[in-house]
Structure formats: C-alpha cells, structure tokens
C-alpha cells in the first residue's frame, strides 16, 4: 500500500495520498494538488478529518481536476461549504465545496481493497474524525493526535470536554498502530500512550 504525505501550506499540513489500486487524499492542504497529481494515481475520494482552513484549502482544486467524491462529518460540513464560518481567520480566499457524502462514527468506506473505518473524535472541532485501516494497522489522526501532543483546544471550534472520550477511543487501538497525523511526523499508539490516557 502506498502512503505518501505532502506537508503543504503555511502550517505544513499533511495532505496524505494513500491506496492500493485506487487512491484517496486526506486533507488536501494549500498547494498539495499538483504534487499529488504528478504521481499519476487516480484519486477517487477526498476524505476530510475536519474542516479548518489549512485542511480544506485545495479541496476545490483537487475535486475539479479529478472528479473525486468529497466526504466530511456533518458537524464540520458548514465550514467546507462556507469557509470562514467557523470563526477562524482566513488568510487567503478558499473556494467552498458541497460535500458528496457525510461521515459517521463506525462507518466503513471501501476503496480498491482497503477498508477505511471512520472514528468520530470531537474535541479539536465538532466534526473531527480519524480514519483507521484495521488490517494495515494505520491510523490517520488529523488534528486529534500528534507526535507528543493532542489537537489544540483553544480555538473557537474546540469542545474540550469531549476530547478525553475521543482519545480513549484511540487508546483502545493496537499499540503498534502507525499514527500519521495532520501535522508533523508519524508516531504509534504505544508512543503516545501518555497523551491518550489523560
């Protein structure tokens, strides 16, 4: 399975391309579209861990060039459709996109032989999700969990009281699960046990 990250935009947000025969992109950040397309893979899905501006800036461009279907949790859909409505400042214009489908906790998406489980992890934003490949032991954690820390709880979208329950969901995953976050380097569930057991 191919997994390739593209740290992009002013916050070096990890846009992530993954797949086997068919491919998906998680969180197409500003400027990630061209490097992703240069690899020559057919992108069928755009999956959003949440809708903060640094994670959605290239959704419109990537969808226009690939026809990929866009999925987001309904609690974060409003800011995808109307960027900036989450009260976070926008530093450049972002074209809104209507989602093609919605994500929910426990849902499984299938993509070219891969099963992608959706884990709803509110805290950083109401509609934060992680994507889990159980067979491959890979978690795409968005801004819920990073190497050495968790997602910020100071933003207007944050729900600090919900973060502990979200982290407990991730703590239940196998310790050797690879964690590929929305920013920074990858880690494992085992290495982040102190963050997950707050």
Tell me: pLDDT of 173 over 90: yes
**Joined tokens for residue 148:** 């050495």
Tell me: pLDDT of 198 over 80: no
For position 14, which CATH number holds?
Answer: 3.60.15.10
**Joined tokens for residue 49:** 């861990």
The helix/strand/coil state of 5 is strand
Distance, in Å, from the CA atom of 122 to the CA atom of 128, rounded to the nearest integer, reads 5
Domain that holds residue 168: 2-196
Read off the pLDDT band of 39 (50, 70, 90). very high
Distance, in Å, from the CA atom of 193 to the CA atom of 154, rounded to the nearest integer, reads 22
Which secondary structure element, helix H or strand E, spans residue 171, and what is its range?
Answer: helix 160-171
Report the domain count for the chain. Answer: 1
Q: Which tens digits make up the pLDDT trace of 106-119?
A: 999 999 999 999 99
Q: Which DSSP string corresponds to 20-88?
A: SSSEEEES--TT-HHHHHTT---EEEEE-S---HHHHTTHHHHHHHH--EEEE-GGGHHHHHSTTTTSP
Answer yes or no: pTM beyond 0.95: yes
Bridge partners (DSSP) listed for residue 120: 129
Distance, in Å, from the CA atom of 3 to the CA atom of 41, rounded to the nearest integer, reads 12
Mean local confidence (pLDDT), 3-10: 98
Read off the pLDDT band of 120 (50, 70, 90). very high
Distance, in Å, from the CA atom of 169 to the CA atom of 166, rounded to the nearest integer, reads 5
What is the structure's pLDDT at 195? 79
Percent of the chain at pLDDT exceeding 70: 99
CA distances in angstroms from 164 to 7, 124, 143, listed in the order given: 27, 11, 14
């Amino acid at each position: 399975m191919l997994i390739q990250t593209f740290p992009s935009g002013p916050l070096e947000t990890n846009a992530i391309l993954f797949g086997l025969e068919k491919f998906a992109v998680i969180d197409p950040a500003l400027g990630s579209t061209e490097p992703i397309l240069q690899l020559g893979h057919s992108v069928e899905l755009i999956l959003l861990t949440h809708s903060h501006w640094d994670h959605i800036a290239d959704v419109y461009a990537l969808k226009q060039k690939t026809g990929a279907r866009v999925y987001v949790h309904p609690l974060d859909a409003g800011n995808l459709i109307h960027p900036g409505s989450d009260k976070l400042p926008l530093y450049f214009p972002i074209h809104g996109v209507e989602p093609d489908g919605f994500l929910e906790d426990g849902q499984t998406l299938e993509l070219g032989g891969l099963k992608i489980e959706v884990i709803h992890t509110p805290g950083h934003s109401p509609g934060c999700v992680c994507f889990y490949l159980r067979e491959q032991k890979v978690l795409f954690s968005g801004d819920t969990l990073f190497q050495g820390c968790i997602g910020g709880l100071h933003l207007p979208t944050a729900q600090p009281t919900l973060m502990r329950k979200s982290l407990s969901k991730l703590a239940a995953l196998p310790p050797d699960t690879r964690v590929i976050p929305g920013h920074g380097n990858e880690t494992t569930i085992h290495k982040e046990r102190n963050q997950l057991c707050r």
